[in-house]
Structures are given as structure tokens and as C-alpha cells.
Amino acid sequence: MPDPEKEISKLRAEIAQHDRLYYKAAQPMIDDQAYDRLKTRLAELEAAHPEFDLEASPTQFVGDDRLEAFESYRHRKPMLSLDNTYSSEELIEFGRRLERLFPEQKLTYLVEPKIDGVAVSLTYEDGQFVRAVSRGNGIEGDDITRNVRTIEAIPDSITDAPAVLEVRGEVYMRHEAFEKINHAREQAGEPLYANPRNLAAGTIKLLDPAEARQRPLNCILYGIGACEPGNYFSAQSDIQTHLKAWGFPVLEKYWLADGIAQAWKSIEELDTLRQGFAYPTDGAVVKLDPFALQEEAGYTSKAPRWAIAYKFEAERAETRLKEISLQIGRTGAVTPVAILEPVQLAGTIVSRATLHNEDEICRKDLRPGDTVLVQKAGEIIPQVLSVNLDKRPADSQPFDFGEHIRALGLDASRDPSQAVWRINSKDDPIRQQRALQHFASRACMDIDHLGTAVVEQLVQRGLAKTPADLYSLSEVEVLQLDKFAEKSAENLIAAIAASKQRELWQLIHGIGIPHVGKQSAKDLEANFDSLDAIADATEEQLEAVDGIGSIMAQSIHAWFDDSTNQALIEQLKACGLNLASSRQATADGALAGKVFVLTGSLPELTRDEATQMIEAAGGRTSSSVSKKTDYLLAGEAAGSKYAKAEKLGIPILDEAAFRELLRQ
């Protein structure tokens, strides 16, 4: 018979640890369902043993996201959490309870998607946005205004509003943005984020808003905290209507249901639609609609009795972990990848999954040959959740990261302050190979005929180690490579030579400065005359560039400070590569020298298309509105940039006016 006191105290400590990882570090170690199981078990034990003081139990309060580095701010009205369930029976039981409480009433519920993001409270005073606060411990949260201001869709001001209004909702990251950031991290050999929620939670707590701006966040508002005077709404559904009229980004779909059975039908419908939503959803929230009834139903210490969250099970399956393969990124980071027996999950075949780093493999004790539980939700990268120990082969051995590194002949070591293994020497052939592949890739110098296999041979045969070596390759040398004949050798050399004329941003991206991706490379080109000017810039000057934050500024400065890198630049210069900015110099074209800022979604053009059209006509784009902006190109759901452009008197164009301008 297990000792309940011991089990309770063990569970409390374990849950407190997971709360800290989820709320403060944005790096949960277990998934929601496993966490909810621990909490349910603890609540059961506590109910059966009321003698163990409840006051300090994590079942009695909401998690706490507050961090030292932020100012705390007290919510005018507490931000509560929700009770949740994975079972339709429990949902129906929630409805039955309310029916017993209100036997005379026909109950209507509002069914909303549950957004998998980070709770936020926005305060408006006299219609002006003044502050954004995280949920914190429900009573007091962190002031995250500077980061939330990077979210365009949040209005700076609203009209016909009450004197004081707290608007509540969820900050999230779109699937596309998540994929893009992770893709860039993969290319840079940096560890991947497990899902958009963790990335959004980490971003909202960045100390540098310029870094936050690099990671596009979004927000959906669905609730109200304080409202003074308080006669604006009479039901939950009213909130939706008002928020929309005030111009807040709101849920694209919700349901008013008569009775709990109909609410369940709506949840089923939501489950079929949610893959198409821009935001990640992990369930539905069912709320009793009329405020009068909500007040009567009341609250527990941490959640309303008039609402419940129904959570969807993520899509999971068991499969065999065939091997753990080690991959090397352009900066030499060695990242582990799970190679799986292919399995069907969330509509796609999954054969690889992210393993993040050595610590994660140790924590989960993953071993090649194990049967593992894999999860994939939406477009999220598949993850390995756990090992099924019952199916572990008798002869299996723990995975020794260091030994695998050695077996592959890699000269790498683990940075003691990080979980990352990195190839030690820049002269390591594999690191050289990755760096050259990146340099030649489409997103950089776009060199035809210079694929992985060719780069591999060039490095192996000692014909090229750095990008500069490519430009001195001779036809005789290229002819030594497998499958090369005269014509193909000529083509390769011509393609390499043609790349000398690439734009400066392509070169900046190609030389592989840590943290500098395509957009940052473009931002640098737009603000400096030449590569030399960037190399000579101080950290402050770099940081003054829109879109460049302090970490990136440091990284750029350190890169140009390194003598090997300086030698590389000199060699590239000597080879005749273009090191001058063309973005400032383009004197021709209908939009020569004009700076555009884009906001909202245009009826026909995508952002990329509009940007290409602007650039083709000699103009350029910038990410924020300032006095230097010539035009704002605004579409549907334009946010604070619109108001700012109006304030500064900057001409605002819709798509039709933009096309007209190009025609002139």
C-alpha cells in the first residue's frame, strides 16, 4: 500500500517543477496530457485525504510565469484558468451540473476554439492602449508591453470604449512563421523549438523587442477583465461582437449552442475545421453565455464554474526508432535526429523526428531499437514523447552521444554552458562542406550545378575549403570530379563566375554569420553602402538598423572582428565579387529610392509578391513606419502601422493605388 502523504508530496514537487518549465522557461519536458494526468492524480489523492494541507498545492492556484527581469503589474481583475477535461462524459456532466443549478432555464453556451498560446491582458485607458501584462500568477503578471507592441494587429487606440478596459486573449505564433523560424534554425545548426506555443512563450519574454520583432507574433482576443463603467456587455457572445467592432483580431469562428449536447456537436465540428485555422488550437472552451447566470454559478479559487476546456488528444502513434542520426549545421552544431519506421500521423507519413540535443536523449533514455511514442499535431514537427519500456529489446544499450561523435570521426565537443555539441575546428572538412553548401544554396549565392555531391568532393579532394576557393577553381581541377566532362565543368565554372554579381544581401547571408538570416541580410544591405561599411560598423550602429537586435549586432561585430573572416572578405574582394549595396544605389525604376512599409493582407498580392514588385521598381521595404517611410501599403486588418502612418502624414496606398503608382 503506497503512502499517500509521500505520493502527494512527490506529485506536488513534480508538478511545481513542470509548472516552472512550462510557464517560466517556455520549455516543457512533458506534453499537456501527461501533465494533466499528474494533476488529476494529485487532485484525487487530495480529495481522498483532506488532512494534507491544500494551501500550498499546485491544484489550488494557476501556474506563475513571472520572471525577475520584468516589472510586475497587478491585474485590475484576476486572470483565472479553466478546468479541463479530455472526456466527453465529463463535458456533459459539466452541463448537467449547471442544469441542476438553473432548473428553470434553457441554457445557451458559447463554444470557442481554445488557442494554444500564451495568455495576455491588454489595458486600454480612455481608448488608448497603455499596457500588456502576462497572466503571471493570475493576480499579478509581467509587463510585456514592449514585446506585445510588435504585434501589428493590436490597435493602438479604440473609439467609443469605456474609460478602463482590460481585453484578454492569447498571443500565438502562426504555423507558417513557426516553420520558417525553425527551418532557419535547422540550417544554422541550432536546436529546434518543439511547437509554436513554446516559441511564442519564449518570444513574449525576450528582453529585447528588436529580437521579438524577428519572430512574428499574433494575437486573438476573446475576453474582458475589468470594464469601467461596467454596462457594456450582458453575455459572452456580446464580448465577441464588441471586440470585433473595436477592431481587435478575434476568433474567426465560434458557436452559440442550445444545451450541452449541441455544444458537443459544435466541438466535433471544430475538430474537423481547426487544421485550417491560422492559429494552433488544442481544444474548445465552452462558456455559459449570459453574464447573469455566470455570476450566479461563481468561481473556485482558480477557475470559473461556468466554463470548461475540452482538450483534443494530440495525434500519436508508436513506432520503432531505427537509429539516432547526427546532423551538422552550417555553424558546426551537431544535432540528433530520430530516424523512425515510417508511421501515419495527423494525415502525413512521419519518418523523422526532432530530438533537440543530448540532454533530451538522456532524459528520455532513448535507444536505437526502442519502440517510441511519436506525436504530431497540425504542421508541427514530430516529436518523440517517450519510450515503451515493455517493448525494449533485451540487449539495448543507452545512446552515448560522445561515443557516436567519435565513431563518426568528428572532432567536436560540448559547450559546457549549453546542450549543444559543436565541431571544434573551422577547418574540419564536414563543417567546411556545410558552410560551402549554404554559400552556394538558392537562398544565398544561388550557384547552379554546385549541389551537395559536388561540394563534398571539392572539400574531400582539398580543391575548395572556403567560399573564396570556389572562385579560383580551374577547369582541370573540376574535371577530376566524378561525372564531370568538359561541358559540365565549363558550366560549373561559369555558374560560379556569374555569382560574383549577386546582390550584397545574398553574400551577407552566404558567409554564414551566426543568427543572420535572409531578411536580416537584406536589412543590412539597405542600411549600409557596402560590406566594408558593415564590417566597420560599431555594435550600436548595427543595432540602430530596423530588425537587428542586440544579439545579432554582437554576432555580426564578432564575426567581422575575426582575422580568418577578415582574410576571407579580402580574398572575395580580390576575386571581384560585388560587395556594394545596390539597394540604395538603384537610381532607375518607378519607385527608385522609395521606402515602403507593408501592413495587413492585400486582396490579391502576397507580401513576397508585393515586395518583389517594389524591389523590381527600385524601391525597398522596411519593417516599421518612421519619418523615412515614403508609402504605407495597407491591406485588410491593418494594425498600428496604419495609425502611425496617418499620424506622420505618410501616404497610404491600397493594392489598386499601388498598382496604379507602378503603372505611372
Q: Which residues bind ligand IVH (CB under 6 A)?
A: 80-82, 84, 112, 114-115, 119, 170, 222-223, 285, 304, 307, 309
Separation of CA 641 from chain center: 22
Residue 364 φ/ψ, nearest 5 degrees: -90, -5
- Give one DSSP letter per residue of 251-303, joined into a string: -S--EEEEHHHHHHHHHHHHHHHGGGSSS-EEEEEEEE-BHHHHHHH-B-SSS
- Give one DSSP letter per residue of 596-633, joined into a string: EEEESB-SS--HHHHHHHHHHTT-EEESS--TT--EEE
Helix, strand, coil: what percent of the chain each, to 5? Answer: 40, 20, 40
**Shortest reach from residue 61's CB to ligand IVH, in Å:** 13
Q: How far apart are the first and last CA of the chain?
A: 85
Under 8 Å between Cβ of 341 and 319: yes
Under 8 Å between Cβ of 634 and 622: no
Which CB, 134 or 611, lies closer to ligand IVH? 134
Which CB, 222 or 421, lies closer to ligand IVH? 222
* CA 347 – CA 362 distance, rounded (Å): 30
Q: Is the peptide bond before 229 cis (omega within 30 degrees of 0)?
A: yes
**Amino acid at position 237, single letter:** S
390 by DSSP, 3-state: which?
Answer: helix
The size of the chain, in residues, is: 664
> Residue 62 corresponds to which cell in the numbers above?
494557476
Which CB, 79 or 553, lies closer to ligand IVH? 79
Which CB, 141 or 329, lies closer to ligand IVH? 141
Q: Using DSSP, how many helices (H) and how many strands (E) does the chain show?
A: 26, 22
Residue with cell 542520426: 325
Residue 305 φ/ψ, nearest 5 degrees: -85, -5
Which CB, 168 or 356, lies closer to ligand IVH? 168
Residue with cell 513542470: 18
**Shortest reach from residue 284's CB to ligand IVH, in Å:** 8
Torsion of CA 404, 408, 409, 415, to 10 degrees: -50
Which CB, 304 or 429, lies closer to ligand IVH? 304
* CA 323 – CA 306 distance, rounded (Å): 49
* CA distance to 83, 126, 136, 341, 474, per residue, from 80 (Å): 10, 25, 10, 43, 69
Which CB, 253 or 607, lies closer to ligand IVH? 253
* CA distance to 34, 293, 528, 595, per residue, from 548 (Å): 39, 51, 13, 18
Under 8 Å between Cβ of 283 and 36: no
**Shortest reach from residue 122's CB to ligand IVH, in Å:** 13
Which CB, 136 or 216, lies closer to ligand IVH? 136
Indicate if the alpha-carbon torsion angle 101, 105, 106, 110 is positive or negative: negative
Which CB, 190 or 282, lies closer to ligand IVH? 282
**Shortest reach from residue 114's CB to ligand IVH, in Å:** 4
* CA 200 – CA 135 distance, rounded (Å): 14
> Residue 386 corresponds to which cell in the numbers above?
517517450
**Shortest reach from residue 79's CB to ligand IVH, in Å:** 7
Which CB, 90 or 536, lies closer to ligand IVH? 90
Catalytic residue among 24, 77, 106, 114: 114
Which CB, 304 or 369, lies closer to ligand IVH? 304
343 by DSSP, 3-state: which?
Answer: strand
**Shortest reach from residue 171's CB to ligand IVH, in Å:** 10
Which residue, 237, 311, 213, is CA-closest to 271? Answer: 311
Which CB, 80 or 164, lies closer to ligand IVH? 80
Q: Which positions ≥6 away from 363 have C-beta within 8 Å? A: 29
* CA 530 – CA 573 distance, rounded (Å): 11
Under 8 Å between Cβ of 528 and 534: yes
**Shortest reach from residue 344's CB to ligand IVH, in Å:** 29
Which residue, 179, 176, 141, is CA-closest to 63? Answer: 141
**Shortest reach from residue 201's CB to ligand IVH, in Å:** 11
Which residue, 336, 343, 341, 342, is CA-closest to 364? Answer: 336
Residue nearest to ligand IVH (CB): 119
> Residue 313 corresponds to which cell in the numbers above?
488528444
Is 114 designated active site? yes
**Shortest reach from residue 117's CB to ligand IVH, in Å:** 7
> Residue 526 corresponds to which cell in the numbers above?
539597405
**Shortest reach from residue 547's CB to ligand IVH, in Å:** 29
- Give one DSSP letter per residue of 155-197, joined into a string: -SB-SS--SEEEEEEEEE--HHHHHHHHHHHHHTTPPPPS-HH
Indicate if the alpha-carbon torsion angle 418, 419, 422, 424 is positive or negative: positive
Which CB, 213 or 274, lies closer to ligand IVH? 274
Question: Catalytic amino acids?
Answer: 114
